[in-house]
Copies of this chain bind each other. A is one copy, B any other.
């Protein structure tokens, strides 16, 4: 892993030098036609996970090292980080998790060049500051001269012989080493040499010091190669036992999540789980009890958890990291990079929305759909009952790329038969008749509010079309359009989420091309503590509000 992704040109040059592709292609660096991008991405065959957001590589490396254990391999994981990025908290989360798991198959290197982007780093070349921190976190820490190859090789050997804990090589280096007018000087970060005298002089100085290697014979072209993002899991999808709930049975989707995870784990040894000390709330503890060797405890360190999942996914595992939906926001930047990398990371956020009740706003995930939907290749599912949860878990496990499943704290009655099918990009029309006047699109907990509204209005002779939009991204545009058409373009969305970026926006974009607009019911202010039902009502997403919106719409009243 090259965590300091801005050093990409060195990575590319090294691979070209090793003969992977023709050296002349290095000159396409950062061009739109080239996969040699400004920072490494998995468009390149020698990159597993994109880097360029500092402090992530070492978290990913923890996942790569855990993966070696998972598959019983003795491969070793190496990661190069920068001294500047060592101030990222995620680095210390990784330090703690790696030491906790005793990952002696992991060797990190810090390039202590003493210069950050805008100024000298906090500790510059005070190597003992770094060593003291890593040792306190339980790592073997070795200080070496980063320009002394023999010293580096000895240190790598020593790391290999160290057991029970990971090793950090603290390599003292001079930035720009070998170019007399640059080395050790501030102000050259990311600054290209001027063409002409400046560049010529630097090249001449470097060439006088380098051992020239022979040109590799007939290297293949990197540009000509197709550049897909990593493919989905290659093996055939295993059979997973069907859900076994009785209709109407009360089960929280978060609990069904745990049940589904165990079933998946039984059917497929690539399934692994991670949690951040809330496994008794997310129900990933069902998996941790069933498969302790495939469960990775990150304690309260969401960035290290998601980063490890990225590393595991890049080596063929199918990881499910879970925590409260709101606390996944601790790792948004990791999720962003997982999406750039197209990894099979299956995120699970429990305790979504105001329906969690008394714990209050700090524990309510109300932005998570917006965050996840923003990523163009993220699949977002939001089941309302136990059956759909189990089926959608199976669907996302074997759907290539990143995915997010949103679960609810309170119990909800089982709506679906065990053999009902749920697909990525699908939805369910729960109530339907020719005389339907308004379409109500709901998901998760609000499906039950929509059904209550249906019952209330039916008593008055007003019929609703009720849709369970269990897949929020990609959303089932075809079904939504048909429903909108059938109900005269009258569509209401209702969601336990803030108004911007959620279900309502997804439905609105799906219907826009047909000219239909959506009346969105959502949470529009910072909520407070209270009982689940009280909150649904106070913040405008209960059955009563749906009924009012339907009446206003049917009467042609603008809100």
Q: Which residues of A approach B to under 8 Å, CB–CB?
A: 5, 30-32, 34-35, 37-39, 41, 43, 50-55, 84-85, 87-93, 96, 100, 116-119, 121-122, 132-133, 135-137, 229, 275, 277-281, 285, 297-301, 303-304, 326-327, 329-330, 332-333, 336-337, 339-340, 342, 358-363, 366-367, 370-371, 373-377, 473, 498-502, 504-506, 508-509, 511-520, 523-526, 528-531, 534-535, 538, 558-559
Complex contact A327–B53 (CB within 8 A): yes
Best-surrounded residue of A34, A367, A514 (most CB of chain B within 10 A): A367
- Known contacts A32-B528, A52-B361, A336-B367; 15 further A-B pairs (Cβ under 8 A): A31-B529, A32-B535, A37-B528, A41-B528, A87-B299, A87-B300, A116-B299, A116-B300, A118-B277, A370-B370, A376-B499, A500-B501, A505-B508, A508-B508, A512-B519
Report the nearest B residue to A86, measured CB to CB.
B300
**Could you pull out 18 A-B pairs where Cβ atoms are within 8 angstroms?**
A5-B362, A30-B358, A31-B530, A32-B534, A37-B360, A38-B359, A38-B362, A38-B363, A39-B362, A52-B360, A87-B301, A89-B301, A118-B285, A119-B297, A340-B361, A376-B526, A504-B509, A516-B517
Q: Is the CB of A374 within 8 A of B371?
A: yes
Given contacts A88-B301, A93-B89, A520-B512, are A360 and B122 in contact (CB under 8 A)? no
A505, B513: Cβ atoms closer than 8 Å: no
Give the docked Cα–Cα distance between A499 and B475 (Å): 14
Asked if B376 and A303 make an inter-chain contact with CB atoms under 8 angstroms apart, the answer reads: no
* Contact between chains at A501 and B499 (CB < 8 Å): no
The answer to whether B87 and A93 touch across the interface, beta carbons within 8 angstroms, is yes
Q: Which residues of B contact A85 (CB under 8 A)?
A: 300
Chain B neighbourhood of A35, CB < 8 A: 528
Whether B32 contacts A538 by the Cβ 8 Å rule is: yes
Q: Residues of B contacting A279 with CB < 8 Å?
A: 118
Most buried by B among A119, A333, A514: A333
Give Cα distance in the complex from A529 to B374, angstroms. 20
Q: Which of B300, B339, B358, B371 contacts A38 (CB 8 A)?
A: B358
Known: A366-B374, A501-B374. A122 touches B136 (CB 8 A): no
What's the nearest-Cβ distance from chain B to residue A304, in Å? 7
In the complex the two chains form, is A509's CB within 8 Å of B499's CB? yes
Report the bound CA distance from A513 to B285 in whole Å.
46
Contact status A500-B505, CB under 8 Å: yes
Decide if A117 touches B501 in the complex (CB within 8 Å): no
Known: A32-B531, A363-B52, A375-B367. A509 touches B512 (CB 8 A): no
Contact of A122 among B96, B280, B327 (CB under 8 A): B96
**Cα–Cα distance between A132 and B136 once the two chains are bound (Å):** 5
Centre residue among A89, A280, A534 by max chain B CB count within 10 A? A89
In the bound complex, residues from chain B placing their C-beta under 8 Å from that of A38 are: 358-360, 362-363, 529
Cβ contact within 8 Å between B336 and A326:
yes
A38-B529, A500-B374 are known contacts. Are A300 and B330 too (CB-CB below 8 A)?
no
Which chain B residue has the least Cβ–Cβ distance from A517? Answer: B512
Inter-chain CA distance A500–B514, complex, in Å, is 18
Q: Please name all residues of chain B whose beta carbon is closer than 8 Å to the beta carbon of A301 when the two chains form the complex.
A: 87-89
> How distant is the Cα of A30 from the Cα of B366 in the complex, in angstroms?
19
Question: CB distance A333 to B326 under 8 Å?
Answer: yes
Nearest CB in chain B: distance from A492 CB, A: 11
Query: Contacts A89-B92, A374-B500, A500-B373: A51 and B362 contacting too (C-beta < 8 A)?
Result: yes
Among the interface residues A135, A300, A518, which one has the most CB atoms of the partner chain B within 10 A? A300
Residue numbers in B under 8 Å from A516 (CB-CB): 517
Q: Are A373 and B300 in contact (CB under 8 A)?
A: no
Cβ contact within 8 Å between A300 and B361: no
Closest B residue, CB atoms, query A100 = B122
Q: Are B376 and A300 in contact (CB under 8 A)?
A: no
Cβ contact within 8 Å between A526 and B51: no
CA distance A104 to B397 in the complex (A): 50
Chain B residues within 8 Å of A371, by CB? 332, 367, 370-371, 374
B373 near A513: Cβ-Cβ < 8 Å: no
Known pairs A92-B92, A332-B371; A359 contacts B39 (CB<8 A): yes
Given A37-B528, A116-B277, A501-B373, also A89-B90 (CB < 8 A) = yes
Q: Which one of A116, A229, A336, A518 has the greatest number of beta carbons of chain B within 10 Å?
A: A336
The complex places the Cα of A96 from the Cα of B367 at a distance, in Å, of: 30
Contacts A52-B362, A277-B119 known; A501 to B370 CB distance under 8 Å? yes
Q: Which one, B32, B136, B297, B518, contacts A512 given CB within 8 A?
A: B518
Q: Considering only CB atoms, which chain B residue lies closest to A377 in the complex? A: B526
* A517 with B515: CB separation less than 8 A: yes
Q: Which residues of B contact A517 (CB under 8 A)?
A: 508, 511-513, 515-517
Considering the chains assembled together, what is the distance between the CA atoms of A509 and B504 in angstroms? 9
What is the CA–CA distance of A203 and B331 in the complex, to the nearest angstrom?
41
Other-chain contact of A300, B54, B359, B558 (Cβ < 8 Å): B54
Asked whether, in the complex, the Cβ of A281 is within 8 Å of the Cβ of B117, the reply is yes
Chain B's closest residue to A94 (CB) is B89
Asked whether A122 and B299 contact (CB < 8 A) given A136-B133, A519-B512, the answer is yes
